[in-house]
Amino acid sequence: MKGQTFRVGVTPPSTCNYLPEQQETIAVVIDPELHSEQGYSWLIQSGFRRSGNSIYRPYCQACSACQSLRVDTQQFHPSKSQKRQINQLKRLNIELKSELDDGWFDLYDRYISARHSDGSMFPANKDDFLSFVGSEWQPTRYVHIYEEHALVAVAITDITTDGFSAIYSFFDPDHPWSLGSLCVLAQLELAKQNGVPWLYLGFQIDACQAMSYKIKYRPYQRFIAGSWQPCQMIPAKPSINE
């Protein structure tokens, strides 16, 4: 598919969800032949992302803050705090499944109510969530994390030809550990075990604090001006716990 041209539709400008002072425009792939496992595997390597059945990436004329980011799973070098979290992860059970456990919605409902009650996903709706993470042409996988026999976290991921693509995660909001970080680390570990070179984490926006967790997983690359560029290995600022 290298060098293939394809058609996109462009949305009208609207207020950016991440940088309210900016206007966002989205390019959405409309060629039906690219809405497939093979097509998406190629497009994700060109900086695109999936939401439900839609494949898209930012197409903003006056702003280039959004950059796709992927982590090198084979060369991943954990920080001190991530090493502690990896040790925590070893005390949990991780299972990659093609279906969600029966009790997943109760956990998701608790998570949304506690962490995102002011967001567009509140109140939690089962059909809306499944439409958001699922796809008619891309098999969705669910990383289940258990503490003993209790489900404490779920990370939704796509498996493409060269990587895992982290779609979304939810977890027990009352758990004392940083389960969001453990979801990323679990996907990194599963990808490494299966010889998958990249974990795609979606779009990085440096000016958005909610995105800052992504650059803590090193080494990573960003999709800039049509190609993947390795980041400079500047040590991440230590957290309070470090």
Q: In this predicted model, what pLDDT tens digit does every residue of 7-49 receive, in sequence order?
A: 999 999 999 989 999 999 999 999 999 999 999 999 999 999 9
Instruction: Report residue 50's pLDDT band, with 50, 70 and 90 as the boundaries.
Output: very high
Residue 86 in domain: yes
Scan for tokens 């060098």, then name that residue.
3
Looking at the structure, do residues 183 and 79 belong to the same domain, yes or no? Answer: yes
- Determine, yes or no, domain membership for 179: yes
Helix residue ranges, H only, 55-98: 80-89
Parallel, antiparallel or unpaired: strands 54-58 and 8-10: unpaired
The helix/strand/coil state of 109 is: helix
Whether 147 is in a domain gets the answer yes
Separation CA 219–CA 221 (nearest Å) = 7
pLDDT at 2: 61
Residues 87 and 139 in one domain: yes
Total Cβ atoms within 10 A of residue 175: 13
In a domain, 117, yes or no: no
* 185 shares a domain with 145: yes
Residues 6+ apart with CB under 8 A from 23: 13, 14, 15, 16, 60, 62, 63
61 and 155 together in one domain: no
pLDDT of residue 5: 85
Shared-domain flag, residues 42 and 90: no
The per-residue pLDDT for 232 is 64
Q: Based on the domain organization, do 60 and 96 belong to the same domain?
A: no
pLDDT for 210 equals 86
Element (H, E) at 239: none
* 21 CA to centre of own chain: 24
Q: Which of 22, 77, 41, 47 minimizes the C-alpha distance to 204? A: 47
Q: Write the CATH number for 83.
A: 3.40.630.30
Are 37 and 150 in the same domain? no
Whether 224 contacts 237, CB under 8 Å: no
Mean pLDDT across 50-72: 95
Q: Are residues 182 and 212 in the same domain?
A: yes
Q: Within a domain: residue 15?
A: yes
108 lies in some domain: no
Q: Are residues 51 and 80 in the same domain?
A: no
Length of the chain as a residue count:
242
pLDDT tens digits, one per residue of 129-182? 999 999 999 999 999 999 999 999 999 999 999 999 999 999 999 999 999 999
10 - beta bridge partners? 27
pTM across the whole model: 0.93
Residue 197 neighbours by CB distance under 10 Å: 15
If asked whether residues 17 and 90 sit together in one domain, one would say no
The rounded Cα 133 to chain-centroid distance in angstroms is 11
Range of the domain at 167: 70-103+133-230
Q: How many helices (H) and strands (E) does the chain have?
A: 5, 14
Answer yes or no: do 52 and 75 share one domain. Answer: no
Report the domain count for the chain: 2
pLDDT surpassing 70 at residue 3: no
Tell the burial category of 68 from Cβ atoms under 10 Å away from its Cβ (0-12, 13-18, 19+): buried
Question: Do 153 and 82 fall within a single domain?
Answer: yes
Taking residues 110-125, what's their average pLDDT? 95
* Helix spans in the chain (H): 37-44, 80-89, 104-115, 126-133, 179-193
| 93 pLDDT tier (thresholds 50, 70, 90) | very high
